[in-house]
Chain A
Amino acid sequence: MNELRKIWRVPLGLTIPAFAILLVVFGVPAIQLFLISTNAPSFSITNYHAFFEQPGNILILLQTIKVSVVTTFICLIIGYPTAYLIVNASKTASAALIVLVFIPWLTSGLVRTYAWTVILGDRGLINNVLIGIGIISTPLSLLYNRLAVYIGMVHIVLPIMILPLVSVMYGIDKSLVAAARSMGARPVLAFWRVFFPLSLPAVRSGTLLVFVVCLGFYITPQALGGLSDAMLSNFIAAQLTNSLDFGPIAAEAFILLLIAIIMLSLFGLDLSGTQSQPDSVRKSEYGWASALRTLRRQVGEFVVPLRARRWPKQLYQPVHSGRSWNTLAAIFVILVMMFLLFPGLIVIVMSFSAGAFLEFPPSGFSLKWYRSFFGDSSWTGAFWNSLQIGVMVTVLSTVTGTLAAFGLTRTSSRIRRVLMLIILTPITFPTIVVGVACYLGLVNLGLIGTKIGVVLAHSIGAIAYVVVIVAATLSNFDQRLEQAAKSMRAGPIRTFVRVTLPLIRPGIIGGAVFAFISSFDEVVVTSLVSGFSLRTLPLKMLENMNQQIDPTIAAVGALLVLMPVLWIVALYLTLWRSRRAHEAGLPLAGLADRAEVPSSAAGQRQ
Chain B
Amino acid sequence: MTETSDTLQVEFRNVTKLYGAVAAVKELSLGVRRGEFLTILGPSGSGKTTALMLLAGFVAPSSGDIIISGKSVASVPSYHRDQGIVFQNYALFPHLSVRRNLEFPLEMRGMEASERATRVARMLERVHLKEFGDRMPSQLSGGQQQRVALARALIADSPILLLDEPLGALDRNLREQMQGEIKSLHCEFSKTTICVTHDQEEALTLSDRIVVMRAGEIEQIDTPEALYDRPTTRFVASFLGEANFLTDREFKIESDARTSDAMPMIRPERIRIIPPNGRLQADNGEHQFASGTIASMIYAGPLRKYEVRVGSTVVIIREHVAAGQQIFRPGDEVQLEWLRSDIRFVAS
Contact = CB atoms under 8 A, between A and B. Distances in A.
Interface of A: 173, 175-176, 178-187, 189-190, 193-194, 197-198, 279, 282-283, 286, 300-301, 304-311, 314-321
Interface in B29-71: 56-58, 68-69, 71
Contacts of B111: 304, 308
Interface residues of B, number: 40
Given A316-B76, A318-B75, A182 B83 contact: yes
A135 to B, nearest CB: 45
B108 A319 contact: no
Given A308-B111, A311-B109, A178 B69 contact: no
Contact of B110 (A286, A308, A316): A308
A185 B85 CA distance: 13
Contact of B104 (A180, A307, A308, A319): A180
Contact of B77 (A305, A309, A310, A319): A319
B155 to A, nearest CB: 9
Contacts of A198: 94-95
Nearest to A301: B113
Contacts, number: 116
B136 A283 contact: yes
B214 to A, nearest CB: 26
B89 A181 contact: no
Nearest to A197: B95
Interface in B70-117: 71, 73-85, 87-89, 91, 93-95, 104-105, 107-113
Most buried by B among A179, A185, A321: A179
23 contacts: A178-B91, A180-B93, A181-B57, A181-B79, A182-B78, A183-B79, A184-B108, A184-B109, A186-B77, A186-B79, A187-B79, A198-B94, A282-B138, A283-B136, A304-B113, A305-B110, A307-B107, A307-B108, A307-B109, A314-B80, A316-B76, A318-B75, A321-B77
A311 B93 CA distance: 22
Nearest to A310: B110
B75 A183 contact: no
B136 A279 contact: yes
Nearest to A173: B91
A184 B79 contact: yes
A320 B104 CA distance: 25
A552 B138 CA distance: 59
B10 to A, nearest CB: 13
Interface in B110-139: 110-113, 136, 138-139
A183 B58 CA distance: 12
Nearest to A320: B75
Nearest to B136: A283
A319 B81 CA distance: 11
Nearest to A282: B138
Contact of A185 (B58, B79, B81): B79
A181 B78 contact: yes
Given A183-B105, A304-B112, A319-B80, A178 B93 contact: no
A557 B269 CA distance: 81
Nearest to B73: A316
Across the A-B interface, the 10 shortest Cβ-Cβ residue pairs: A308-B110, A307-B110, A184-B108, A183-B105, A179-B91, A318-B75, A175-B91, A182-B85, A181-B78, A181-B79
B156 interface: yes
A175 B112 contact: no
B76 A318 contact: yes
B276 to A, nearest CB: 52
Nearest to A185: B108
Contacts of B95: 194, 197-198, 286
A76 to B, nearest CB: 20
A318 B60 CA distance: 12
A190 B79 contact: yes
B112 A183 contact: no
Given A176-B93, A182-B56, A279-B136, A316 B107 contact: no
Given A178-B58, A185-B108, A197-B95, A173 B89 contact: yes
A316 B56 contact: no
Nearest to A317: B80
A179 B85 contact: yes
Nearest to B83: A182
B95 to A, nearest CB: 5
A454 to B, nearest CB: 47
A181 B113 CA distance: 20
A190 B156 CA distance: 17
Given A183-B104, A198-B94, A283-B136, A319 B110 contact: no
A229 B32 CA distance: 71
A173 B138 CA distance: 14
A304 B107 contact: yes
Contacts of A179: 85, 87, 91, 93
A417 to B, nearest CB: 21
A294 to B, nearest CB: 13
A173 B94 CA distance: 10
A300 B107 contact: yes
A186 B81 CA distance: 11
